[in-house]
Chain A
Amino acid sequence: MLQKTSSGLDFLEQLAATGEGDSPLGCMQCGLCSASCPLGHAMEYPPRRLLLRAAAGQLDRLLKSPTLWMCVGCYLCSFRCPRGIELTDGLWPALRDRAMQAGIQPPTELQETFQNLLKYGNVLGKSPRQRLQWADGLDVPVLDLSKQPQPVEVLWIVGDYPSYYPRNQPVARAFARILTALGVRWGVLGTKECALGECDRMFGEEGLFEMLVEKNRQLLQGLQFKMIVVLDPHEFRAIEHYYPRYGMRYPVEHYVTFLANRLPELTARMVRSVEATVTYHDNCCVGRRYQCFDPPRALLGAIPGLKLVEMERNREDSLCCGGGGGGMWLDAHIVAHGGYRLSDERIKMAARTGAQILAVSCPFELSRFEDAAKVTGLEGKVQVRDIVELLAEAMDLVEKESV
């Protein structure tokens, strides 16, 4: 039957006008995006055809497709696109936004996350009062700027997972100790801290994202700091790329670059060796998007005794953990529609290098890879550690309370 079509050019023109990447009208249909996409083969509409259908004006078909909720924001398609088209941060969120406006609901797990953000200001649905739980028993002072506003060098936005999630809390504590050891004057937002919302924008929840932006605008107003430091690469992306659109411009660093810029001071304090073969997983958000490939390796390389090896896919070709762009809450949907958990494949790659430790630099990755290790039978063979944990170990800043 002939498909009744209307021109989709107006949709693509609107997309081009957002200024995200080069114009999607320049697509030459080479298919590099679809074949690069780690889930492209499982999608009803892999990226190339998604764009082609959109150009043909068949948005309705796309909005109903499970494909729409299968992108995990790994950015490989956009990074490689020979015509510079932003699929990840452009086309995909725009289509998801349309879908939700048309009343099409995203997968249930994700809806719960949105509810959590709306009600509690964090993805885990925890009480804001417990925001500082991570610092319980910490042996260095934590300056809560929401209670004692004063000028600081670093405003550290701790993030949802490091604040609340048991496996991530030691990372937050390790970072606090390192900051203090470096003599940095730092503070946190304490119980007032609120998620920055990158994943929500990626997910097309533009309204929710704007709400979070407004909350953070009020929080940050009047505070005096030289820079913001975050543990979560997605939050780095939010402040660096999206917040300026709402008139909020702050110098921001992901902790990896923040620490790499202070490498000599760190090295001078490294007193213990970490005898292990380590491989590093490049996260997508500061990795591919900002080509931050050398700083994490410089940090790991500086640790005495540590032997760094590379996975077959590394740096710009790194395979995503599958947690970005809302992917953290999409595993069931993706697997149900013919996909797989990217973290399972990734940990197998890590194991193939012979490494005992898989080093990561994103809060999502610790739990994703630890789960993957269990599922793939690699538990006990490959340990998952955050770079901060390894640095703290080398600097002898380990958990004293647990010793």
Chain B
Amino acid sequence: MRNPETPLRIGVYVCHCGTNIAGFLDVEELAAFARTLPGVVLARDYKYMCSDPGQELIKQDIQEYRLNRIVVAACSPNLHEPTFRNAAEAAGMNRFLVQMANIREQVSWVATDRQEGMIKARAHIAAAVRRVALHEPLERQYVRITPRVLVVGGGIAGIQAALNIADAGREVILVERQPSIGGHMAMFDKTFPTLDCAACILTPKMTAIKTHPNIKLLTYSDVVSVDGSVGRYTVRIRRRPRYIDEQACVGCMQCIEGCVFTRPKFPNEFDQGLGYRKPVYIPFAQAVPPVPVIDPKVCLYLSRGKCTQTCVKACGERNAIRFDQTETYEEYEVGAIIVATGFRAFDPTPIRYYGYSTYPNVYTALEIERLINAGGPTAGQLVLPDGRTPKRVGIIHCVGSRDKKYHPYCSRVCCMYALKLAHLVKEHTGAEVYNFYIDIRAPGKAFEEFYQRVENEGVRFIRGKVADIRPVSQAGVSAHSPSSGNGDGNTPPDPSATAQAVQLSPSAPAYQAQPAKKESATPIEPLLVRVEDTLLGEVREIPLDMVILAIALEPQPDADEVRRLFGISCSTEGFFLEKHPKLAPVQTANDGVFLAGACQGPKDIPDTVAQASAAAAAALALIDAGQIELEPNIAWIDETMCSGCRTCILLCPYKAIHTDLERNVAVVDPALCKGCGTCVAACPSGAAKQYLFSYEQIDQELEGILNYV
């Protein structure tokens, strides 16, 4: 409690914020009002309180008028509370004797009626004045930071962030859910707009992860719990059994060769199910770590307990195959966390009029990436399921994007990857390629130039959203279309094209899937695509052998669980929410947790890498400070009133309270307390209290509000 001997000397400062506040509220009148409040010895209004001269004003007044409390009526304390606390401290005042009244976000920006705005602004100022009168000097508390960073997700974002931090000499724990790092980028063939081979630029970084002395790589693992807070998180990681000892395995792949299944039989997830793998497999040739994994659902020994275990024989004395492996858990203490969990590719099945999963020649873009990739199921041959090379290929843009029924947002990368695929399809097959687009969005560096290049290569562009895809034999209504076969290259497909099965590379290694999932012996019927050419202003029907859907990027299916795990928020679309869209793009509402890559929103590789490095820099800035200042508004226990009932201990979401067994009282760990106030509200005897949120302070704040409205 304030020493009643010392008279209150409160200074109130009303900020104009240019015209942000003064354009709507009468700031002079607010200052005059403040002068009438008890304890206020001085009130001023000033153009920009946060400016140097504005802060100087506070410092001078503190000394000249012996002020002992400060109220700044300006913007949100999120923005400038530290500014004014620093100013007060510089003038010799305890920094926690400053209170802000938010008359910008809460009043001038949102109120529509000036008179009512003035009433509300006065209430805010009065509340701050009455509250600050009860503020007490508090000491700043610090906690040591563990100089280690957890990176969650081993796609290009996580890889980049982990390497940056490790290169700066700090330890990184990199956790990846899949058997290999690499993420979506590892599935791509080439990257836009430069057409570098994705694997060629990614695999050196993947290898660097594996060999870096500062990086501990945990694949086939996921984070199951996060305790503690900024600077001192304890994370628990579940390691799923690979049934192969990572230390003992040398990556010779003899087990795959030796597996009792002589041919790959099970859909390979990495190849989007277009190719096959064995029960013991490696997702792709350059996988890191280069250690196979055994799928317990299909492995004969693990699923039925009966197998001759030819893989074990093949492994020989290395003895790396461990059927007895079970799930294990590891715990690490880290100072900061980078969430880089990526995106999921939209499943277009619900858009029934595109016939995906009905017609075998309708593909997603990701499937095409695998088909044209030399490491993919057809060894890089872009062929139809019947083995023929397509002569006419259409790429439909915005599938699942810019559509209220699916995702209202633009997925940002589809235009460019569609252009890239148009180029690659033409290069691989010589086919006539159509792009069906709504708007081409090519705002990146060298993007527009790439767009022009693809146009000049003869790729056709039709502005319109495709409404219907059907085999030509079903296209009854089309007979009425005046614009089919109108000489604009709409010649019907060549029905006499005979099936020419493509010879798959006979030397394909065992881990490479061989036949394509959509393999078909009968010739695949061409499709008729119905679209309004909005520039011509007529409905057209265009026959195509193959349709590629440029699918949206959407949040991972478990984004909500991950969000809860790390105490962060999501935007309405389900992507993780940054602290500020412009000024804190990699920070989150949870200090010490940072974001990188497409988990925050759809983005391309250059943006992902840039954001990952930004997240790494932000994490390094945090952990290299060595210690962190704690929020002062933490809970404390008045031991004279505590009965040791432990109600607070059970309720504390941060495990910040324990019982001192000798004295039988609760004790709050100031490093763990986040100031949520749960214990304060729950304590039956009123022993749990909170700095800056005492009952008296809150009462007075409410009095202030209610007396003036």
Chain A residues close to B by CB (< 8 Å):
22, 28-32, 34-36, 38, 40-42, 46, 48-49, 80, 82-84, 312, 315-317, 319, 338-340, 345, 348-349, 352
B403, B532, B533, B537 — most chain A CB neighbours (10 Å):
B532
Q: Mark B361-400, 1 if CB is under 8 A from A, else 0.
A: 0000000000000000000000000000000000000100
* Chain B residues in 8 Å Cβ range of A83: 404
* Chain A residues in 8 Å Cβ range of B404: 22, 82-84
Residue of B nearest to A348 (CB): B476
**Contact: B353 with A345, CB < 8 Å?**
no
**Contact: A32 with B465, CB < 8 Å?**
yes
Q: Closest CB-CB distance, A268 to chain B, in whole Å?
A: 35
Complex Cα distance A361/B185, Å? 50
**Contact: B464 with A35, CB < 8 Å?**
yes
Say whether, besides A28-B402, A82-B465, A40 and B532 are in contact (CB < 8 Å): yes
**Contact: B402 with A82, CB < 8 Å?**
yes
Residue of B nearest to A38 (CB): B477
Residue of A nearest to B397 (CB): A30
**B116 beta carbon closer than 8 Å to chain A:** no
**Contact: B476 with A35, CB < 8 Å?**
no
Complex Cα distance A49/B398, Å? 21
* Chain B residues in 8 Å Cβ range of A345: 476-477
Q: Closest CB-CB distance, A231 to chain B, in whole Å?
A: 28
Nearest 4 pairs of A and B residues by beta carbon: A31-B532, A35-B467, A82-B403, A34-B532
**Contact: B530 with A35, CB < 8 Å?**
yes
Complex Cα distance A254/B250, Å? 68
**Contact: A41 with B464, CB < 8 Å?**
no
Q: Mark B417-440, 1 if CB is under 8 A from A, else 0.
A: 000000000000000000000110
**Contact: B480 with A339, CB < 8 Å?**
yes
Complex Cα distance A29/B398, Å? 14
* Chain A residues in 8 Å Cβ range of B481: 41
* Chain A residues in 8 Å Cβ range of B403: 82
**Contact: B466 with A35, CB < 8 Å?**
yes
**B483 beta carbon closer than 8 Å to chain A:** yes
Complex Cα distance A340/B470, Å? 20
* Chain B residues in 8 Å Cβ range of A349: 474, 476
**Contact: A31 with B534, CB < 8 Å?**
yes
Complex Cα distance A30/B530, Å? 13
**B538 beta carbon closer than 8 Å to chain A:** yes
**Contact: B468 with A36, CB < 8 Å?**
yes
* Chain B residues in 8 Å Cβ range of A46: 532, 539
| A–B Cβ pairs within 8 angstroms, 16 of them | A28-B439, A29-B534, A31-B463, A31-B467, A35-B464, A35-B530, A35-B531, A40-B532, A41-B480, A46-B539, A48-B534, A82-B402, A84-B404, A312-B474, A316-B352, A348-B476
Complex Cα distance A339/B477, Å? 10
Not counting A30-B534, A82-B402, A312-B474, a sample of 18 additional A-B residue pairs whose C-beta atoms are within 8 angstroms of each other reads A28-B439, A30-B402, A31-B464, A31-B531, A34-B539, A35-B466, A35-B531, A36-B353, A40-B532, A46-B532, A48-B532, A82-B398, A82-B404, A315-B352, A317-B352, A340-B477, A345-B476, A349-B474
Interface size on B, residues (CB 8 A): 31
* Chain B residues in 8 Å Cβ range of A29: 438, 534
Complex Cα distance A153/B402, Å? 46
Complex Cα distance A329/B464, Å? 32
Question: Which residues of B in the span 432-456 have a Cβ within 8 Å of any Cβ on A?
Answer: 438-439
* Chain B residues in 8 Å Cβ range of A84: 404
**B405 beta carbon closer than 8 Å to chain A:** yes
Q: Mark B595-608, 1 if CB is under 8 A from A, else 0.
A: 00000000000000
Say whether, besides A29-B534, A83-B404, A317-B352, A41 and B482 are in contact (CB < 8 Å): yes
Q: Closest CB-CB distance, B342 to chain A, in whole Å?
A: 25
Complex Cα distance A48/B536, Å? 12
Complex Cα distance A42/B480, Å? 8
* Chain B residues in 8 Å Cβ range of A316: 352
Residue of B nearest to A346 (CB): B476
**Contact: B539 with A41, CB < 8 Å?**
yes
Question: Which residues of B in the span 496-543 have a Cβ within 8 Å of any Cβ on A?
Answer: 530-534, 537-539
Complex Cα distance A348/B477, Å? 10
Q: Closest CB-CB distance, B702 to chain A, in whole Å?
A: 40
Residue of A nearest to B463 (CB): A31
**Contact: B353 with A317, CB < 8 Å?**
yes
Complex Cα distance A317/B438, Å? 22
* Chain B residues in 8 Å Cβ range of A312: 470, 474
* Chain B residues in 8 Å Cβ range of A80: 353, 405, 467
* Chain A residues in 8 Å Cβ range of B405: 80, 82
* Chain A residues in 8 Å Cβ range of B352: 315-317
- Residue of B353, B439, B476, B538 near A41 (CB, 8 A) is B538
* Chain A residues in 8 Å Cβ range of B482: 41-42, 338
- Residue of A35, A38, A40, A315 near B465 (CB, 8 A) is A35
**Contact: B476 with A28, CB < 8 Å?**
no
* Chain A residues in 8 Å Cβ range of B438: 28-30
Residue of B nearest to A77 (CB): B467
Q: Closest CB-CB distance, B543 to chain A, in whole Å?
A: 15
Complex Cα distance A345/B479, Å? 10
Q: Closest CB-CB distance, A15 to chain B, in whole Å?
A: 18
Q: Closest CB-CB distance, A331 to chain B, in whole Å?
A: 14
Complex Cα distance A28/B477, Å? 26
Q: Closest CB-CB distance, A351 to chain B, in whole Å?
A: 11
Complex Cα distance A352/B475, Å? 12
Residue of B nearest to A43 (CB): B539
**Contact: B534 with A340, CB < 8 Å?**
no
Q: Closest CB-CB distance, B467 to chain A, in whole Å?
A: 3
Complex Cα distance A315/B352, Å? 10
Q: Closest CB-CB distance, A241 to chain B, in whole Å?
A: 20
* Chain A residues in 8 Å Cβ range of B537: 49
* Chain A residues in 8 Å Cβ range of B477: 38, 319, 340, 345
* Chain B residues in 8 Å Cβ range of A30: 398, 402, 438, 464-465, 534
**Contact: A41 with B483, CB < 8 Å?**
yes
A35, A49, A352 — most chain B CB neighbours (10 Å):
A35
Residue of B nearest to A29 (CB): B534
* Chain A residues in 8 Å Cβ range of B439: 28
Q: Mark B305-347, 1 if CB is under 8 A from A, else 0.
A: 0000000000000000000000000000000000000000000
Q: Mark B634-665, 1 if CB is under 8 A from A, else 0.
A: 00000000000000000000000000000000
Q: Closest CB-CB distance, A334 to chain B, in whole Å?
A: 11
Complex Cα distance A381/B688, Å? 83
Q: Mark B180-209, 1 if CB is under 8 A from A, else 0.
A: 000000000000000000000000000000
